[in-house]
Structure 1
Amino acid sequence: MTTLAASVSAASAFPGAFTIGSRKQDAVRVGVIGVNGMGWANLNSMLKVPGVRCTALCDVDANVLNNRAEELRRRGITPKLYSRHEDLLADAEVDAVIVATPDHWHCLHMIDACAAGKDVYVEKPLGNSIAECNAMVTAAARYGRAVQVGQWQRSQQHFRDAMDFVHSGKLGKIRLVKAWAYQGWMKSIPVKPDGPAPDGVDYMRWLGPARTRPFNPNRFHFEFRWFWDYAGGLMTDWGVHMLDFALMGMKATTPKSVMAIGGKFAYPDDAAETPDTLTTVYEFDDFTVQWEHANGIDGGPYGRNHGVAFIGNYGTLVLDRRGWEVIPEGDRMQAVPFRKSEDNGLDKHTANFIDVVRSRKLEALHAPVTAGAHIAVFAQMGNIAYRTGEKIFWNEQRGRFTSRAANRLLAAEYHNGYKIPPL
């Protein structure tokens, strides 16, 4: 099993230059698996790159599929439509695939795409378990495919600038890193009864490797994020973004221990399973990384509803999607006024992927599969600590925890005849 530390090195945290690269007009034919939310956003971003064409769409919800196809037709684009991802992957007129399905499908879709000879832009979090992440890294290497993970902040210049400042040593000794997501717009999910799947939805295909259950609207489309069968709540939805930079700033890999506490404190009786309030502490040799999240409120640290803060002896650097600043500790250093983001991270990220598809210089990817696996595993560790109620420890040599209860959560349980292909 690939271990956490083996997934990525600190030196390769930002592979490639933060430039768009060459603007070759070589045609790149793109198909999309899961075109409702981020799949649609990613496609529209990718279509801005000269030479990119959309040739195929796939979705298990015919309503979504037909609506997106009609939107494209109005723009003079006529893709082929598929309800099964295997059929799209067999299409010789598809060079690269966007995978933007629910988290529990990412692993199988990405591996199948690589095996079919396609390059892949896969949404975050990379996998829905540590075992899946390891398998996805192995598959990308075995088939020699370009795999970009949709952590588009890695393509934004202000994030790179902030990391350079952290690495400069000007903050002094950094003893604590805080990362957080306070999401006021994510309200309670009212309990709803089970019922029939909507017309046009292949529900068994949507379930895929997840446990068979009656259809419930709370578990479908966007809300799947709050159920353990399909995802990991805010920890894996937002944590992979913010914690990614916490680790980059500290050039950190594997924590010594992880502990977490929280629960459904805001909405104890609603339909969600994942915690709406969580604090997770990752222990390293001489610093800690702390994750916080809260649904339903925006009042996060430093007046920001998301971000990461590097707390040093001389000052604190605070970073989010809007920009970054440095708050001095008394007169120990000069303040750095807020430096605003000035670019479009998603557009730069998809353009970087297309550049690599053309150049085959896989090392130039801004968010390669190894980096996506590293941070997805890190976030999964936080969820495993929460779900076991234990302080957990990782055995680097064995690629396992020292806890039997934690090891039971290393792999997602697959159902309905699905399994991770042998690699």
Structure 2
Amino acid sequence: MNNSRRNFIKKTGAATLGAASIPAFSHYLHGSVAPSDQVNVALIGCRNMGFGILQHHLNMPGVNCVGLCDIDKNILEEKAGIVSRDYGQQAKLYGDFRRVLENKDIDAVIVGTPDHWHCLPTIYALQAGKDVYVEKPMANSIEECNRMVKAAQRYSKNFVQVGQQQRSGQHWNQINQLIKDGQIGKLRKTSVWGNFNYGIGQLKKPDTAVPEGVDFDMWLGPAKERSFNPTRFHGSWRMFWDYGGGLVTDWGVHLIDMAFWAKDISTPPKTIMASGGNLSFRDHNHETFDTMSVIFQFEDDYTVTWEHTAGTQTGPWDQNYGLAFVGDLGTIVADRSGFKLIPEWDNDKKAGKTEPMEKQVQGENHAEHVQDFVQCIRNREQPVCTPEIGRAVAVAAHSANIAIRSGAGLLHWDDQQGRFSNSDTANAYVIPKYRAPWELPEV
């Protein structure tokens, strides 16, 4: 059993399918918290997912918001008002995350920024002695992921929880255990797909002046200097290479993570083959690919595939996103609403080769993932989604994009060397070029 699975079972008691779960953190949710167990957090990047993660923190007694940081004063003031109104807490406001890290009262930071801003705050926070909850994908390039892992290993008194929250979901853990218990026989491949309208970005618009209250130079940070365009800012930044990687690094990371977990994979795939491009919606502004087909091949005779067709909301098994874990005895089809096990048919016995099963659930598992993080802050345990786990799936997703961007199509990844063994053109995408005065941290 891998460490993350062991830690989950230890913390939740969800060792068997359908067992009642009484989380070890339940007394934090419903009872008083000793002064020594108070946790002070700050949020860097307040607009959307980051603020949702903060709210899950503040829903736990004994967690205090002592800092909010954003480059948009409008967002900053709006969220500060919500924290004051809903939680009765007055957070100090910051426009520069480096000032946040100077505050010695802060125990942990949440990095909810666009992807290109994940690396620097995470490494600097570890250097400052803070624990970190960083959203996925772990970073916007392969080398940033590498250095974040090195930093977590070097500054090991603190830890990082990567926001791949399905690792904390009970039904995902149940699926994982069913596979490991042999309920579908040998797992041969996992098909993963995610079709979403938002993957095509927004309708094209002309550049505009920077909105009042926005520090756009700070928003760009290490990314190259560029004019302001509303279709590359709030809501759609992830469809541009300087800031994100499109659907495969957004939804793809969550789902591909489950495919890797089923085989306890914690390193990137050896072989990546990808095809696709921007094949439709020419009136929408996006650089990342609206259409992709990817194969990740591992040495142990295991294959993971990823497919997306942005601008559509249909997909295999009548689900716009999900996974199909394909084994010799049956297939498990899953998404965040639950799963079903569909047996293969035995012609000789005139019966299914395994028992059918179905489970319906509700929830995104963000709350459980945050609860795991807060428990780890108090107990100094490793969280269920470590930087090594985050790196494996992020490198895979970035490699898929690089296979198409470089024109190579087929790439061989050498994890020891941290490079592709068959394409110098692809290797040019491994290490990002930071805009001065920002520098990729040495660890």
TM-score, normalised with respect to structure 1: 0.93
Deviation string for 1:175-195 (max 9, x for gaps)? 321011111455552111112
The Cα shift of 1:17 comes to 2.3
- What is the SS of the residue equivalent to 1:171? coil
Report which stretch shifted further, 14-23 or 244-253.
14-23
Describe the shift of the 1:54–1:197 C-alpha distance in structure 2 as closer, same or farther (beyond 3 A): same
Residue matched to 2:19:
none
What fraction of aligned residue pairs are identical, expressed as a percent? 42
Aligned to 1:7: none
Tell me: CA distance 1:393–1:314, structure 2 relative to 1, closer, same or farther (3 Å). Answer: same
Partner residue of 1:133 out of 138, 142, 145: 145
Who is 1:283 aligned against?
Answer: 297
Separation in structure 2 between the aligned mates of residue 185 and residue 219 of structure 1, nearest angstrom = 13
| Correspondence for 1:41 among 49, 52, 56 | 52
Whole-angstrom distance in 1 between the partners of 2:110 and 2:82: 18
Match of 2:367 in 1: 347
- The alignment partner of 2:118 has SS state of helix
Question: Structure 2 residue aligned with 1:57, among 49, 52, 68?
Answer: 68
How far is the alpha carbon of 1:379 from its aligned partner? 1.2
Aligned to 2:222: 209
Once the two structures are overlaid, the 10-residue window that deviates more, 86-95 or 249-258, is 249-258
C-alpha distance in 2, partners of 1:250/1:74? 45
CA gap of 1:371–1:143, structure 2 versus 1, over 3 A, is same
The correspondence for 2:173, drawn from 151, 155, 160, is 160
Q: Distance in 2 between matches of 1:143 and 1:345?
A: 28
CA contact (8 A) 1:260 1:389 kept: no
Q: How big is the shift at 1:326?
A: 0.9
Q: Secondary structure at the match of 1:192?
A: coil
Counterpart position of 1:196: 209
Deviations along 1:45-93, whole A, 9 cap, x unmatched?
A: 0111110011110000000001111112223211110101011111122
2:281 counterpart of 1:270:
no
- Rounded Cα–Cα distance in structure 2 between residues aligned with 1:58 and 1:397: 37
Instruction: Note if contact 2:184-2:354 (Cα within 8 Å) is conserved in structure 1.
Output: no
Q: Distance in 1 between matches of 2:291 and 2:204?
A: 19
What's the CA shift for 1:344? 5.8
Aligned partner of 1:218 in structure 2 is 231
Q: Does 1:399 align with 2:402?
A: no
CA drift of 1:222 comes to 1.8
Tell me, yes or no, if the aligned pair for 1:102 and 1:224 is still in contact at 8 Å: yes
2:189 is aligned with 1:170: no
Measure the CA separation in 1 of the matches of 2:94 and 2:324. Answer: 44
Confirm or deny that 1:80 pairs with 2:100: no
| Counterpart-to-counterpart distance in 2, 1:227 and 1:343 | 29
Q: CA RMSD in A?
A: 1.7
Decide which of 267, 271, 285 is 1:257's aligned counterpart. 271
What is residue 376 of structure 2 aligned with on the other side? 356
Deviations 1:110-133 (A, max 9, x none): 011111111111100001111000
**1:91 matched residue in structure 2:** 103
After superposition, what is the alpha-carbon deviation per residue over 1:323-371, rounded to whole angstroms, capped at 9, x for unaligned? Answer: 1111122244244232122566111110110111111122xx1111221
SS in 2 for 1:30: strand
| Paired position in structure 1 for 2:5 | 14
> Taking structure 1 as reference, are residues 187 and 415 closer, same or farther at Cα in structure 2, changes over 3 Å only?
closer
Q: Name 2:17's counterpart in structure 1.
A: none
> Cα–Cα, structure 1 residues 139 and 272, in superposed 2: closer, same or farther, change >3 Å?
same
How many pairs does the alignment contain? 412
In the alignment, which residue of structure 1 is the partner of 2:162?
Answer: 149
Q: 2:348 maps to which residue? A: none
Report how far residue 204 of structure 1 moved. Answer: 0.3
> In 2, Cα distance between the equivalents of 1:231 and 1:290?
21
Decide which moves more: 260-269 or 231-240. Answer: 260-269
Unmatched runs of 5 consecutive residues or more in structure 1: 1-9
CA contact (8 A) 2:295 2:303 kept: yes
Contact 1:278-1:293 within 8 A present in 2 as well: yes
Q: Within 1, Cα distance between the matches of 2:8 and 2:354? A: 29
Q: Mind listing any 5+ residue stretches in structure 2 that lack a counterpart?
A: 13-22, 346-350
**Aligned partners of 1:260 and 1:278 also within 8 Å:** yes
1:147-182 per-residue CA deviation (whole Å, 9 max, x = no partner) reads 111111111110000011111223223332101111
2:102 is aligned with what amino acid?
Answer: A
Following the alignment from structure 1 to structure 2, what is the Cα–Cα distance between the partners of residues 49 and 344?
Answer: 17
Distance 1:207 1:344, change over 3 A: closer
